[in-house]
Chains A and B, each alone.
Chain A
Amino acid sequence: MKRELHLTVNGVSYHRLIDTHRTLLEVIRDEIGLTGTKNGCGQGECGACTVLLDGEPVNSCMVLAHEADGHDVVTIEGLADGAVLHPVQRAFVETGAIQCGFCTPGMVLSAKALLDRNPDPTRQEILDGLKGNLCRCTGYVKIIEAVQAASCLLDEEEAS
């Protein structure tokens, strides 16, 4: 069964006829062609498919596309401002918080959402905020440092 779907993804409005059993992840990757959002476990455990839905992180593999009808989605492709990386992205690059990179899009979006809610998180708050994002390479040390660095970068941006 197909149904009209309207999504705003990274500020661009899309109208498509989409099967009702498609997930938001499938529509983002296969219909819209943005493949930065990764398909990991398919069960909401790993967070590789994290996108921001109305600013909140969700696992796009566990959201039916039509449940997001009329709403606003931000994927990793929507974070940078042209060639200028978002401070969270910059912090991940500069800290060396990326190894294979598969978890990075989800990790960065979860970190951004955390810092939007809580600009100066404690270490424990960072751990809680990133609990739904698994990384098999880094051991998380650099990732936590990156979030702390991002928090400082955002503070500086605020101040300037």
Chain B
Amino acid sequence: MEAFDYMRPTSVVDACAALREAGGTARALAGGTDILVQMREGKLRPAALVSLRDVPGLRSVRRAQDGGLTIGAATRLIDIETSPDVLRDHAALAEAASWIGSVQVRDRATIGGNLCNAAPSADTAPILIAYGSSVTISDGRDERTLPLEDFFTGPGETVLEPGELLTAISVPPAPARSHAKYYKTFRSAMDCCTVGVAVLVVFAPDSRVVEDARVVLGAIAPTPIRAPRCEEMLRGKELDTALMASVGALAAEEARPIDDVRASAEYRRVLAEVLTKRALAAADSWLQKGAGA
């Protein structure tokens, strides 16, 4: 690897200052599982890495009274998949985290790194968006909060400005009678997903009618995207096989996939359809089994 400056600040304020002072090509270093690979391949040549290792407050999961979660950006995936607070009402997030890479990768990789790296296939993004999550960004002086779905601007690109850090991810409480599920397909256990689909379904009281839904597609457009037409189609209807099939077909239409080494665009559309149907079927069978009771 080429040489670079390395700093290990002990506060968000100092980390942001270090990023700003080191200039445009300084980068935050969290687990390093994306950035060090990119640097070794010569795709990225940052003048400085600003380590988040000793910045307090970035590495924790907190569950509020109302059941909402605040997850520090530098929380490791291994800690998310095993967190009782996450597993309680947001098990689909724990599961999505547990499918990433290997134990060795998840012992280092962070949720903030997964989001800031902004791969269209980032596995924590679709389920977090399905839960309605927002992100908090700090420049060391001021904070701003925005919906996670507005965070991504393109492959590898986010709204983060130089000198800004992602500090936290807020996940709202899971609504009553709601079911969330993330499904992905991949070529091998260690490869990033060819397609990922997260679906949150909120059922009306005492019925199979869908009150609200979020359908989020990953690895199928330049950023993770919501499929608003699928969500619209679900709202106010009883979830049955015919509806699942129609929503699945619509997901294939909403996708804007590319051909690449992992899969053709056409194949990705088929996967989007299949995984969307599968996630809806999971919600249905959860309801049949007594809605988690």
Contact = CB atoms under 8 A, between A and B. Distances in A.
Interface of A: 1, 3, 19-21, 23, 42-45, 47, 50, 53, 56-59, 62-64, 66-67, 69, 110, 113-114, 128-129, 131-133
B6 A50 contact: no
Nearest to B102: A132
B40 interface: yes
B108 interface: yes
A129 B33 CA distance: 18
Contact of A47 (B1, B5, B29, B102): B102
A1 B6 contact: yes
Contacts of A1: 3-6
Contacts of B87: none
Nearest to A106: B104
B103 A67 contact: no
B53 A62 contact: no
Given A42-B40, A63-B32, A132-B190, 20 more contacts: A1-B6, A20-B4, A20-B6, A21-B1, A44-B101, A45-B190, A56-B107, A59-B108, A62-B32, A62-B36, A62-B108, A64-B29, A64-B32, A64-B49, A66-B6, A67-B51, A113-B103, A131-B102, A131-B190, A133-B102
Contacts of B1: 21, 23
Given A129-B103, A131-B189, A63 B6 contact: no
Contacts of A23: 1, 36
25 contacts: A1-B3, A1-B6, A20-B4, A20-B5, A23-B1, A43-B40, A44-B101, A56-B107, A57-B103, A59-B104, A59-B108, A62-B36, A62-B37, A63-B32, A64-B32, A64-B49, A66-B6, A66-B51, A67-B32, A67-B53, A69-B8, A128-B103, A131-B189, A132-B104, A132-B105
A21 B102 contact: no
B33 A44 contact: yes
A21 B107 contact: no
Main secondary structure of the interface of A (DSSP, over half): mixed
A45 B37 CA distance: 11
Interface string B1-13: 1111110100000
A23 B189 CA distance: 25
Nearest to A67: B53
Lowest 7 A-B CB distances belong to which pairs? A132-B102, A20-B6, A132-B104, A56-B107, A131-B102, A59-B104, A21-B3
Contacts of A47: 102, 104
A59 B105 CA distance: 7
Nearest to A3: B6
Contact of A64 (B36, B78, B102): B36
Nearest to B39: A21
A143 B231 CA distance: 47
Contact of B3 (A19, A50, A58, A114): A19
Nearest to A1: B5
A57 B103 CA distance: 7
Contacts of B33: 44, 62
